[in-house]
Structure 1
């Protein structure tokens, strides 16, 4: 590489998103980049000319390893939607003016659907204006809903955390059901795609029966059928555990959490803020059956539990970061790096690139054939797909009994 590289992060963090930053940094340096900049708080911060020279913060191999094990977005994130080019050409001229000032050869953006929309618009503008900067997207999302890629970095670690937590919640529930029946509702992230909620089924193993019911947003949720199913289960066992996606909807299109007026706002992309699904269902069941009920919302723990990250996930996050730099250095632009599953046994994945126009704003949902006929559980085929992604671990660097992260003192 002859010029400089800049990398940013956008959208919700994951337990391994910083491993992609480490992959970008290491590969860019190895391929001869003069400087590797990090934009602070994504494209929104970049517009305010907030960026750092990453060599001032990643000083040695230990820092790289710490970064790979650090949760959240090290550079800060944002949820900022670029306007269409014809709507506000000035904002694009400003962005490209900053790119020219920093002598940026490659612009790498780590994120999900909305982030790939940013890559699409910037690469389109570069083509229209004849600008030679390369724009490459790096996949990231715990939701696993990006099109074309076999899976997204971040999903495997979140799935591992969910399956582990589900096992532990089940074990805890069994200890507290001596005198009265209990229903536990686990609320798991997933607006339209149920990949994370389906991962709760991984808890079913030799030492655990797993959750009794699993409901994904891909199918309509029937409240009456749900209550009937719970009633049947309570006749057979003391403790019932259910995993539900936060985005499950009833037949009229309302989110279940809206039944209790749980939605109060929308984000900059117009997405409703979802919360309260488990609380609504737990309260309803307590009133219906007179049983104990407990609502557990895993919330941001699903995406921040780097202490339980999958080794496969960390390695692949690093791999796609490096592949993005390689693609840009070889002349690719307007693309996203994808993972292609080469083999299930032994598990192997390779990287490739796909046109970002075929990725941005397209959601990959759980296939109907991977959900059972009743719509109350996932199939073995689903579990065969997920299991390889949760394998292995990276031991945290422990200091005084707690994991050490790469940190900075700047008020970014």
Structure 2
């Protein structure tokens, strides 16, 4: 083992999930127990905390509160959407990061996030190698979108999928109370990949879910959509539809009326308003009562129905990142290699180069979507079902969730 002693920084970035803090705990707990890591620092609001020298001393946190991170949703250290420039064009941020790393003798850097976060991780890693500063840098995956390249699935996706399927089942029950006709349209997150919207099919598989599901992996056709809805509605007097927020026409433009409302820090369109838009069109075309429901942030913060499998794997991802870095590994992201042979699910951690992860999106295979493009096939169910297993062991007080309450003590130079 190439022993390297020094402090570490853990940062979180991008949209939060129900289990992102389980990964952070995997990093923090393993780092605190490591003889090679002299100090564990948490970056306030991701890479911005490094740039602004706002770092928390995680060693001053109560152990019991840290343990509660496993069942606490959202990003406990704070998140950001900050895009680092190409260092060949502007290395200002990188010089500042190096300055902070030297100030606190940071020799390990762990960044917990999705596609854009892995891009940040990759850029910092390459810069540190270029300037000759030894710092082992590891990406810890996170995204409910499940679109990270190089891994079977991402921590956070399974809990969001479970929330979506459960909610769809509950809405389906509510929508079938009366003997009057109704169309229900549920909008689900997913800009370019339809893993989340496809997960609504779990509800259908269980007997209470959408009749129609539309993913961004296929071009959306409004006339075909209306024909699909009318066919189901005329046959049963009800129709439930799940749509990904990122569905688009053949020319690539988003169907969502909110596609130009704003962009995040990485230039991605912030989508929304699709369910309401489609509801108005269906109401006009059919005369039926129509409800448009946007799950919005609920699907990524719904920890009360989290998958225990997801929580355990998220922790494993953080733990693996530290163990690999201490053993001499750098410039990698923790990934999952899984098998589902004969219904037996097995997941093991592996390491993938940051180069093949950053800025690549993994999409639902076309063969997992039906020919009409309004539903998913059995292989999709077989893929997702093992991931949502296990009931959360989250503690409660007065029948309400007990989340971690961190002190967040800012560091002082040693």
TM > 0.5 fold call:
yes
Partner of 2:354: 356
Unaligned runs of 5+ in 2: none
Shift in Å at residue 251 of structure 1?
A: 2.1
Partner of 1:378: 376
For residue 226 of structure 1, give the secondary structure of its aligned residue in structure 2: helix
Partner of 2:290: 293
Instruction: Give RMSD over aligned pairs.
Output: 1.4
Q: Spell out the pairing of 1:70-85 with structure 2 (5 A cutoff).
A: 70-85=72-87
Partner of 2:393: 395
Deviations 1:11-56 (A, max 9, x none): 0000000000100011112222221110000001210001101122
For residue 256 of structure 1, give the secondary structure of its aligned residue in structure 2: coil
Question: Given the alignment of the two structures, is residue 21 of structure 1 paired with residue 24 of structure 2, yes or no?
Answer: yes
Partner of 1:194: 194
Question: Given the alignment of the two structures, is residue 234 of structure 1 paired with residue 233 of structure 2, yes or no?
Answer: yes
CA contact (8 A) 1:342 1:350 kept: no
Distance 2:391 2:98 in 1: 40
Distance 2:376 2:45 in 1: 37
Distance 1:90 1:114 in 2: 19
Distance 2:218 2:409 in 1: 44
Question: Given the alignment of the two structures, is residue 184 of structure 1 paired with residue 184 of structure 2, yes or no?
Answer: yes
Question: Given the alignment of the two structures, is residue 327 of structure 1 paired with residue 329 of structure 2, yes or no?
Answer: no
Distance 1:8 1:404 in 2: 23
Count of residues paired in the alignment: 405
Question: Given the alignment of the two structures, is residue 369 of structure 1 paired with residue 367 of structure 2, yes or no?
Answer: yes
Distance 1:211 1:282 in 2: 15
Deviations 1:197-228 (A, max 9, x none): 0000001245x242100000010000001111
Distance 1:92 1:252 in 2: 38
Distance 1:53 1:290 in 2: 60
Deviations 1:223-258 (A, max 9, x none): 001111111111111221000000001123221113
Deviations 1:120-174 (A, max 9, x none): 1111111111110111000100000000100000000000000000000000000
For residue 235 of structure 2, give the secondary structure of its aligned residue in structure 1: coil
CA contact (8 A) 2:161 2:199 kept: yes
Deviates more, 1:26-35 or 1:292-301: 26-35
CA contact (8 A) 2:65 2:405 kept: no
TM-score (norm 2): 0.95
Shift in Å at residue 374 of structure 1?
A: 0.7
For residue 9 of structure 2, give the secondary structure of its aligned residue in structure 1: strand
CA contact (8 A) 1:334 1:355 kept: yes
For residue 191 of structure 1, give the secondary structure of its aligned residue in structure 2: coil
Distance 1:401 1:300 in 2: 23
Question: Given the alignment of the two structures, is residue 153 of structure 1 paired with residue 147 of structure 2, yes or no?
Answer: no
TM-score (norm 1): 0.96
Q: Spell out the pairing of 1:83-162 with structure 2 (5 A cutoff).
A: 83-162=85-164
Give 1:6's match in structure 2, choosing from 5, 9, 14. 9
Distance 1:309 1:364 in 2: 23
Partner of 1:225: 224
Distance 2:339 2:66 in 1: 28
For residue 323 of structure 1, give the secondary structure of its aligned residue in structure 2: helix
Deviates more, 1:244-253 or 1:341-350: 341-350
CA contact (8 A) 1:263 1:275 kept: no
Shift in Å at residue 262 of structure 1?
A: 5.3
CA contact (8 A) 1:44 1:80 kept: yes
Distance 2:121 2:300 in 1: 23
Distance 1:263 1:175 in 2: 37
Partner of 2:60: 56
Shift in Å at residue 341 of structure 1?
A: 0.5
Shift in Å at residue 411 of structure 1?
A: 10
Distance 1:158 1:196 in 2: 7
